[in-house]
Amino acid sequence: MKIDIFKEMEKHGFEQIIFNYDKTTGLKCIIAIHDTTLGPALGGCRMWPYETEDEALTDAMRLAVGMTYKCAASDNNFGGGKSVIIGDPNKDKSEALFRAFGRFVQMLGGRYYTGTDMGTTGMDFVYASRESDCMTGLPEEFGGSGNTALPTAYGVYKGMKAAARIVFGSASLKGRKIAIQGVGKVGQGVVDHLKEEGAQVIISDISEENINKVKEKYPDVEVVDPDKVYDVECDIFSPCARGGIINDDTIPRFKCKIIAGSANNQLLEPKHGEMVHEKGILYAPDYVINAGGLIQVADELEYKDAGMRRERVLMKTEAIYDILLRIFTRSKEQNIPTSEVADRLAEERIETIGKLKANYVKR
Ligand code: NAD
């Protein structure tokens, strides 16, 4: 199947798609810029051995649209974009490849900023940054803001509190039973916040190593089988592993009152947002509650000086609490799924800020 590119761009409101080929390294990469109403496009660079060019293009476009919504909903001044490098991250990486990538990003003159995603690491962008000023999310040793899992976990924790306030009438998580799927970088941070507040934590992971790490720190944490985590009777189910876990099979099994976790693309399809809403479960839209990492990399671009970064990022991440309260309240008032409210709020913000720019201002 060959994609009708202009038709797809028109359908989804894309501004620009750039195909880049470097004859020295063989780099093949696609940069998709969806919407820059709020500011330059921001979105990671994924490296994957895509089987077809269509597959790579579809992935870049889908992810770029997601970034537009995520930036808009989380009060960031960036638009949505994403790039993909066609190649095997285990075999095809080199300094030259990422420098070639950096040069192509630089050619866009600041319309697109990027950093790590699946298949890429901070070090790849240290190389890319030798050719470009538009790299973010670099390791701390290289002047970047470092690990994004910390603010992401903090945002998830704050989001859980907002949801608890709506469902239980109190934001306190003390004594609340919370089941976490996936205790990797983000999940472990969420556990730390919850244990500090005195929540009752249940964890599940396919990695014994990660389970053991948590058990060593908190021996009283309960562990459940990865297949059983959807059936746990709890106040909050927190997906912090992979996407698509809210689907036709899992929704009938859920015995929780809230779903609030860091995983990307939790709803397998948009209709599943409606199904959890009908079941009476309060769902914290993934791209809002997990925006802490994005807030950090955006901060790295906005405030080049490293001073006070950690405190400032955590302060900005706290806004997730209020944003979610707004979403939950509107969902209740208008009886529409929270996933839909989040999309509408993002679209409204883009439209309003876009219209503001109608008045000419010399800067
Ligand atoms: P990670 O790879 O460090 O952790 C994921 C954990 O999930 C691992 O321990 C893995 O073993 C476990 N896992 C995988 N499949 C599982 C299953 N079926 N059942 C139970 N556990 C399973 O990743 P992370 O950085 O902690 O990210 C977690 C999720 O949050 C991902 O979906 C990621 O895209 C999303 N996210 C992460 C960030 C960030 O800053 N790291 C930001 C936004 C969103």
Query: What would the pLDDT profile of 104-145 be if each residue is shown by its tens digit?
Result: 999 999 999 999 998 999 999 999 999 999 999 899 899 888
pLDDT top residue among 188 and 147: 188
Do 37 and 175 sit in the same domain of this protein? no
CATH number at residue 37: 3.40.50.10860
| CA 225 to centroid of ligand 1, rounded, Å | 16
Pick from 118, 183, 186 the residue to mutate for probing ligand 1's pocket: most ligand atoms within 8 Å of its CB: 186
Q: Please identify, among 96, 126, 142, the residue that sits at the C-terminal boundary of a domain.
A: 142
Q: Name the pLDDT band for 324 (thresholds 50, 70, 90).
A: very high
Crossing angle of helices 208-217 and 185-197, in 10° steps, is 20
Q: Which residue has the tokens 């030798």?
A: 130
CB–CB of 150/118 below 8 Å?
Answer: no
Which atom in ligand 1 lies closest to the alpha carbon of residue 187?
26
My answer on whether 109 and 190 are in the same domain is no
Whether 178 and 247 map to the same domain: the answer is: yes
Residues with CB under 6 A from ligand 1: 148-149, 152, 181-187, 204-207, 210, 226, 240-242, 262-264, 290, 293
Q: Is 72 a member of any domain? A: no
pLDDT tens per residue, range 214-226: 999 999 999 999 9
| Mean pLDDT along residues 302-318 | 83
Task: Report how far ligand 1's centroid is from the alpha carbon of 347 (Å).
Answer: 28
Query: Residue of the nearest CA to atom 42 in ligand 1?
Result: 293
Is the pLDDT reported for residue 315 higher than 90?
yes
User: 159 and 268: one domain?
Assistant: yes
Shared-domain flag, residues 182 and 211? yes
* pLDDT value at residue 290: 96
Model pLDDT, residue 308: 65
Locate the ligand 1 atom nearest the alpha carbon of residue 290 and give its number: 43
Cite the active site residues: 82
Q: Which atom of ligand 1 is least distant from the CA of 188?
A: 26
Instruction: Please check the confidence at residue 248 and state whether its pLDDT lies above 70.
Output: yes
Would you say residue 355 lies in a domain? no
Residues 137 and 175 in one domain: no
Q: How many CB atoms lie within 10 A of CB 7?
A: 9
**pLDDT, tens digit, for every residue of 288-297?**
999 999 999 9
Residue 236 in 3-state DSSP?
A: strand
- 15 within a domain of the structure (yes/no): yes
Average pLDDT, the chain: 95
Residue 115: name the closest of 93, 73, 82, 155 by CA: 82
Rounded CA separation 145/154 (Å):
16
Domain that holds residue 183: 149-290+321-347
Tell me, yes or no, whether 342 and 203 share the same domain: yes
Q: How many Cα atoms sit within 13 Å of 211 on the Cβ side?
A: 13
Count the domains in the chain: 2
Instruction: Tell me which of 232, 262, 295 to substitute to probe ligand 1's pocket, judged by most ligand atoms within 8 Å of the beta carbon.
Output: 262
CATH number of the domain residue 201 falls in = 3.40.50.720
For 15-30, how does the pLDDT look when each residue is reduced to its tens digit (9 = 90+)? 999 999 999 999 999 9
Q: What letters, b where the CB count within 10 A reaches 16 and e where it falls short, cover 228-266?
A: ebbebebbbbbbbbeeebbeeebbeebebbbbbbbbeeb
Residue 73 placed within a domain = no
Statement to judge: residues 94 and 127 lie in one domain? yes
pLDDT band for position 307 (cuts 50, 70, 90)? low
357 within a domain of the structure (yes/no): no
Q: Look at ligand 1, atom 12, and give the residue with the nearest C-alpha.
A: 182
pLDDT of residue 310: 86
